[in-house]
Amino acid sequence: MKNTAQCTIFNNAQHSPTHMTSDFPLPKTERPQIDGGRRARKLHQTSADLLACAWQLFEDHGYEAVTMESIAQAADVARGTLYKHFPSKEAFIQHRFHHDLIARRAEMRAVMATMPTVAERFLYMFENEAAYSESMRPYAAPYLYHRLRGQKIQQHPIERDSFESLIADLIRQGQLDGEIVTDTSAEQMAEYVVFLRLATLMRWIATPDLPLAPLFAEMVQLFLNGAYRRTAPTQLSTSN
C-alpha cells in the first residue's frame, strides 16, 4: 500500500509536530496503577496513538491493503516499536473492540440494572453487541480468526477482563435472584457463553445475508433454556 499521508504520533525535538491526535484515549480502568508510572503511562499513550493511526489507515485504504510496515511508516516509528505494542495487525482490531466495549459498558450496566429478569438483560446486552458487530463487520472475520488461530482463551486477557467479566456479573446476579442454577460457578458458565458467542459470530460471518441479532437471541435462548425438552419451556422475545 502506498502511503498518502502520515499520522505522526510523537511531538518532540526529534519528530515533526503531531498530525493526528488519538481518537482512543485510554479509559481510566486501562491506565496502569503503578507508583512512579510515568514511563508506563507514556507506553499506554503510545499504544492508543498507534491504534488511532492504524485505524485511520484501515478506514482510508481498507484493512487488507494495510501492512504493519505501512502503519510504522505512517506513525513514524520503528517497526520494533510497533511490534512491541501490537504483535500483529489483528491485535489492533482486538484492542479497538476492547476499547469500545469499555466505553459502552457503563451505559449498558445502567440500562440492564432497570430490567427485572436475567433473560431481558442478556437479550439487551447481545442486541447491543449485535449492533456494534454489524457496524464493524469488515473487521469481524480477522478478529475471529485471530481469536481462534491456535490460541487458548487464557492468552486473551483482554476478553477475560471485559466481555467475560460482564457476562459473569449477569449470571451471578441471576443466581442471586434465583433465576439461574448455582451448582456451576458464574465464571465457568461465562466461559461457556464466550465460546457460544464465538460460534455464533462464525455462523454470521459464514452467512453474509443473516442479521446477527436473531442469531444471538437464539444463542441466549439455548443457553438459558438448555436443549433438554421441557413441558413448558420459557420463550424469550426480542425487541424490535
Query: For residue 229, what pLDDT is reported?
Result: 72
3-class secondary structure for 180-204? Answer: CCCCCCHHHHHHHHHHHHHHHHHHH
Specify the CATH number of the domain 1-87.
Answer: 1.10.10.60
The pLDDT, as a whole number, for residue 220 is: 97
Could you read off the pLDDT of 129-158 as tens digits, one per residue? Answer: 999 999 999 999 998 888 777 555 444 554
Q: What is the pLDDT of residue 16?
A: 37
Query: Alpha-carbon distance 28 to 26, whole Å?
Result: 6
> What separation in angstroms does the CA of 7 have from each of 47, 54, 55?
14, 9, 10
% residues pLDDT > 70 (the chain):
76
State CA 213 to chain mean position distance.
Answer: 17
Domain boundaries, the chain: 1-87, 89-225
Q: pTM of the predicted model, to two decimals? A: 0.76
C-alpha grid cell, residue 126: 447481545
pLDDT < 70 positions in the chain: 1-6, 8-36, 150-161, 230-240
Closest CA to 23 of 51, 57, 58, 63: 51
Cell numbers given for 201: 459470530
Cell of 12: 518532540
- Under 8 Å between Cβ of 7 and 75: yes
Q: Which of 121, 28, 32, 19 is nearest to 75 (CA)?
A: 19
How far is the C-alpha of 40 from the C-alpha of 114, rounded, in Å? 38
Give domain 89-225's CATH architecture. Orthogonal Bundle (1.10)
**pLDDT score at 31:** 41
Give yes or no on whether 1-87 and 89-225 have one common fold: no
* pLDDT value of position 5: 58
- Pick from 44, 163, 37: nearest CA to 94: 163
